Amino acid sequence: MYIQVMKATRCPTDELSFTNCAIISAGYFDEKTKHIMVKTSPSSEYVFSVKSYPGMQHGTVGFSLLQRKWAVLSINQDIEVKPYEFNKSTQLIGCITLEVDFLQKKNSTPEAYDTDMMAAEFNMAFSEHAFTVGQQLVFKLEGKKLLGLVVKEMEAADISMLRGGKTSKRTKINLGISMANTQVLFEKAEGSSINLIGKSVGRAAGRQSIINPDWDFKNMGIGGLDKEFSDIFRRAFASRVFPPEFVEQIGAQHVKGILLYGPPGTGKTLMARTIGKMLNSRPPQIVNGPEILNKFVGESEANIRKLFSAAEDEQKRCGVNSGLHIIIFDEIDAICKQRGTMSGSTGVHDTVVNQLLAKIDGVEQLNNILIIGMTNRRDLIDEALLRPGRLEVQMEIGLPNEEGRLQILDIYVSKMRENKKLAADVNLEELASQTKNFSGAEIAGLVRASQSLAMNRMIKASSKVEVDYEAAEKMQVQKSDFMIALANDIKPAFGVSDESFSNYILNGIINFGEPVARVLADGELVVQQTKLSNRTPLVSLLMEGPPGSGKTALAATLSMKSEFPFVKICSPEDMVGYSESAKCQAIKKIFEDAYKSELSCVVVDDIERLLDYVPIGPRFSNLVLQALLVLLKKIPPKGRKLLIIGTTSQKEVLQQMEMVSIFNTHIHVPALSTGDQLCSVIEDFDCFTVSERATVQKKLSGKRLCIGIKKLLVLLELVRQTEEGFRVPKLLCLLEEEAGLE
């Protein structure tokens, strides 16, 4: 690296002095030289960013007054100058703290200076600029206000996560080069009267470097999404850490769009807003999808253009030094539906999609934008929007696992714990294990419900509502409050339908002999296979038998005993009056909900009724049949397991429809066929006296019959209403008529 002896002189123009660069004559150094090291004495060296100017005398270097003051330079002083290269693995500035004051005291004003706006302008003016701790600068704000700055402290950018490693501790540096997204903080100089406002004032406690995958999101009110945040940061913001010329050298392009999708209440909107707060960017624009639409022709498209206008103007002015503009679309499916699917509409949706596509990745590409879209209906969004270059990073924000639920609970009870309003018997680990398939919003609802129960105890029961304030001071939310709220108030949308299943097991399971024990044992094996096997993510079981043999009750019992987080029944009872297409959509939704849970069970009850099958005709719904044929053998997403239990009384019919072969396992559920089995049911049924039971057993011993358990229980209830002494004859008479008693 060659050394030149040059002379120090004044900066040739005021405008060049505002650049805070050393000024040299054009062509004196190689064009690649961006920075120089100036040696003013054997022990004093200073690094400056350099700019060429045709009017500079050859062999001289121009410095502004503040630069000469900082480096202790005099006019015509001989200095040694050589090109300087920064080590971009250790000398990139992640954060810079600047002392600020009026450049001239006579120009001081009481007006407030927005540090957020100052930080944005500073980054645009001084991207890839050399800075040294103690350096004095002049800062021209909004093209007219002159401020004096002193570099107080700098920290190196943490880019270790780009290599797949953990973040290192913050490293303070004395010399570094800034980036377009360096975090800038301003502090008022001692004795200054300048009025600073905004978030970029002073040192922010707990501040993190530009990209930090180990960010403690609990401090931001988010839990259970650490991995998702890390993945988004690694994919969407890695390229934004490096200087623009490095990105150009490798031909990389910044990610322009992120799509967050998943069930309602899982934290998509909260995550998007947090990304906007954490990044060193312009304040994010948050737009609800429906707000874009306007009844006047062309206004909807104009609303899209307005969102991008600030980014376009800044890119024209600042080029690669432009700051990042974030646009957050909540409910993006409202404006970006598949084009051509809105039959009978005016076509506004299609033109809005076209306008958005053109702005994100059209002919005039913007490189300073990041679109974050959120939806729980990813299937509705136009495919062109999901291709690479547009909403390229697509992240599913699913239901939190047990560790995530514990984080969320910890966030929502933190204030109660701090103020000693949380009882000692509340075990968050236990609550996290009991809230399977709860979304973040549902966990928040659970905490609110338990708080309301605790507060309700403080209300005096009298003619008017009064609060016992003395007791309220000592009030604590107890474990019992959470348990009551869990049992009665808050039910997960993607959880177990207790009420639905309880209707199918009103009388429990009556074990009348070996057939029932065999069915339960075989069913348990299928449940264990679903839980434990990594080779079969989809397991299906068909329970077939005569009408009334207890198939639905047995299926409901197996699914409830499985303790799967998601258990749902697909019953024809819930689809009475549905058209064929509506029925297909309802069945499809049940399966789609099941795919959102790690472990799910779907009971498809009375399949022939779902298919609208009747023996007269015959007639059945081919549309529903084809939907079931697809869904029953569709493998769930990676990392998810699904157990399907089907029930039917028409196995032969399903055989002809090629549906039986889809199920992995078949279990026959028989009706009661012997007198001994019937007597076993009577033993469990508190209806007959001891002598009556003995008479029934004697009469039925060795007899053959055929009756479903469901029908038998109805007959026994009828017999219960008969006067004592006439019950046995009545029962035998009914069995001869209904069960073919021989």
The question of whether 7 is a catalytic residue gets the answer no
- Can you give the three-state secondary structure of 199-239, one letter per residue? CCECCCCCCCCCCCCCCCHHHHCCCCCHHHHHHHHHHHCHH
Q: Which of 39, 140, 710, 730 is catalytic?
A: 710
Here the tokens at position 99 are 């002392």
Q: How far apart are CA 122 and CA 116, in angstroms?
A: 10
551 is catalytic: yes
Check if the beta carbon of residue 27 is closer than 8 Å to that of residue 12.
Answer: no
Q: Which residue out of 551, 568, 583, 711 is catalytically annotated?
A: 551
Strand order in the sheet with 145-156: 136-141, 145-156, 93-102, 183-188
CA–CA dist 357, 384 (Å, integer): 8
Structure tokens at 281: 């960017």
Buried-exposed string 539-577: b where 16+ CB fall within 10 A, e elsewhere: bbbbbbbeebbbbbbbbbbbbbebebbbbbbbbbeebee
Helix (H, G, I), strand (E, B) or coil at 32: coil
Separation CA 121–CA 695 (nearest Å): 98
* DSSP state at residue 723: P
Longest dimension (CA), the chain: 129
From 82, 145, 218, 633, active-site residue: 633
- The separation between CA 273 and the C-alpha centre of its own chain, rounded to angstroms, equals 12
Catalytic pick from 605, 641, 647, 648?
605
CB 480 within 8 Å of CB 449: no
Q: Is 710 designated active site?
A: yes
List 9, 19, 606, 647, catalytic entry = 606
In the residue annotation, 605 being an active-site residue is answered as yes
Tell me which residue has tokens 């199920």.
663
Q: Which of 572, 568, 674, 644 is CA-nearest to residue 613?
A: 572
> Measured between alpha carbons, how far is 445 from 495 in angstroms, rounded to an integer?
15
Q: Are 541 and 562 in contact (CB under 8 A)?
A: no
CA distance 323 to 280: 8
Annotate 551-590 with DSSP letters as a single string.
HHHHHHHHHHHTT-SEEEEE-GGGGTT--HHHHHHHHHHH
Distance, in Å, from the CA atom of 33 to the CA atom of 385, rounded to the nearest integer, reads 42
Concerning whether 269 is annotated as a catalytic residue, the answer is no
Does residue 166 have an active-site annotation?
A: no
Active site residue: 552, 557, 647, 648, which one? 552
Residues tagged active-site: 551-552, 605-606, 633, 710
